[in-house]
Structure 1
Amino acid sequence: MNAAARKAPGGATSRAPAVVLALVAAGAFLISYNFFAMVFRGAGAGPAAGATGRDPVVAMPTWMRAAAGDEVRRRPFHVALTATDAAYSRWQCRVMYYWYKRMQARPGGEAMGGFTRVLHSGKPDGLMDEIPTFVVDPLPEGKDHGYVVLNRPWAFVQWLQKAKIEEEHYSNGYILMAEPDHVFVKPLPNLAHDNDPAAFPFFYITPSEHENIIRKYYPKERGPVTNVDPIGNSPVIIKKTLLEKIAPTWMNVSIQMKEDKETDKTFGWVLEMYAYAVASALHGVQHILRKDFMIQPPFDTRLGNTFIIHFTYGNDYSLKGELTYGKIGEWRFDKRSFQDRPPPRNLTLPPPGVPESVVTLVKMVNEASANLPRWDEGL
């Protein structure tokens, strides 16, 4: 007889344990299924499975998603935008604030909190009713040596001393230091982590290449020059309590650097950026460097995962879409072309072949100017 066809000892009774085990396994499966189904439906705390109850991508329970949202809301940042009352600054501030509000209203904009334009011209201007503004004094006459950016750290010192921000109720409050030529292209989360601020690394801020100058303000006993981050003050997301310590030092170092001929000649228009980096290092603060914080056309050609377009450079192209940097192009967009007035509505779009970063920038300026009242007046 084929061994496989022979009965096992005990006959039919030997099959009973197998049946029992199968029933136990099935019962365990049903219990496990119901348990995990309950968890992923929010343990009864949220709506049933469906578009409103479960994240369709990662199947995140409602209660878990809500908890994550609460964490974001506990870490909002307040935007502090330093500016002057010049027409050149005003139109950029209007575009910047327009897109800030747009991104703040989108999903993912929960961390984007209040907004203050810190106006360091000493008197109100025509944007007071459009953009939340806090007026501070400029430096005493002649103290900026014709370098208006020196007013930025002094503006922060005054604002931090006098202003109260709603975000202070959350983890001591965070501040995003921003500039008029920043355009938000998507909602910005809080990139800082507790006492580690987040900053953008600039390729032209190179402390290690200027150690002899950096050591005038950051002596050897303080640590290696690499403690000085390759950053400026903007964009930076930082705890308010940290910035309150750094800002007076930043102001003093800025003035000292400007009054030192060698430092002034070497650092030029980025002197105040170096001053912030040095001041931070003097207080033992180093930043999380986020290259995705922003892009700078025309050198950055793609949007990628960035949050901000910084339009500090001129964008010059031939009608064939070729960059002609250093030479005025047949098509161009340069903020410096609009020193005493805003750019006209409906700017001509770049020719075919121009990178998406530049095309996106011009489209966003056009949308803002089309929707902002009295644009041509410049307010």
Structure 2
Amino acid sequence: MPSKTRGRLTHLTRGKLVKGISLCFLVIQLFSVFTVLQKGPNDSNFIGPSLLSSMYRSDASRHVVINNNIHDDLKSHGKPVTAPTVGSSNSTTSLSSLNISELAKDLVILESLTSATHVEYLKQTLNSSSKIYRPGSWDGAGIVLEEYKLILFTQGKVACTVFKQLARRMMGLRDWKVHNEPHIPHNPQKNGLLYLYHYPPTVALAIMISPGWTRALFVRDPKERTLSAYLDKGAKKKGLYITKHCCKKELQAKNMDANFTTCGERASSSFLAFLQLVQKECCCDPHWDKQSNRIDLDFRPYINFVGHFDHVQDETKRLLDEVSARLDSGQDLWKEFGASGWGSTGNDAIFAKSTRAKHQTSAITKLKQYYNQSVEALVDAIYKNDYDDPLLNFEPFHLSEKD
């Protein structure tokens, strides 16, 4: 059996690197008129906190205008927000915890660094065509935890069930541990969570760019994630999930001719057949879509936390600790929501071994069983953009020996 060489950075070092990469993206987008990437705090052209403050003070009149615009947008959007009620949860969330003046200030600073036209472009893009705002997909729009200034972007096959349970717990929903009764915690119409689209575009944009908010994305190595997707969605029930989502019209042909082979049946025959379908016919299902496509290009610079599945418990603690550090309340979110209450007995921490065993779908331990050189080469080709993406920060590894 060929040896598996990964040579990964530790999750702590990787977390620091992601922060640096995210900051670089932001610098490139906002400060392109300056050569700040080659300058330090002592350079006359460096944009530091004092200069940001002076930009804001010199344009205080815009704060009044934007502040009023936000209030008008909230009024026209029918706020306060009421999240969908779930069973006995009685979940109603208003906008009382949003600091409108602070959000308006963040937009004023962004205008000062770029232009009012650019800010309007971002707002229109967010509203009209962004994945992270529009409703529809169960793992599309960001989940907003207003009280904690946290936006969580979930992904299929990256512990999305547990992260939605965590979000529901942080919102105070009493039935936060419910799973699939019916479609909880996944269905936004039933899970009681708040999403970006519950806010008018001006407010959604403000919290997407505000330095006071955490915008978190968890990712998983494509080789592990894709195999997990195959085992869970492709190999089961003769690929029925794939047939329903990738070639639904073939179900009618199957009903008329029992010998007809659907795309799902073809994909279920082997991992290689599944990958070939993904490459040619069904690339964009949320369970195996490229993770580099998860966040719209215009908003990638504002993702300021990326956690990795291979250390998911430690990474989740890191997230909750970082969010806690931003709060004035002094809350320890890990202690309150992560350290206990999980598992069948309620005595486990989040992502304890017993909690995550089911969701691993045996994929990690079976990697070498399913990967040979040709399969691995195909996955490397399909997910090249993921492995090359500095925001995701995957370190490529090889399961099979090369000739």
Q: Which structure carries more strand by proportion?
A: 1
- Fold match (TM-score > 0.5): no
Q: Normalising by structure 1, what TM-score?
A: 0.22
Structure with the largest fraction of helix: 2
TM-score by length of structure 2 reads: 0.21
Q: Could you say which structure has the greater relative contact order, defined with CA pairs below 8 angstroms and 6 or more residues apart?
A: 2
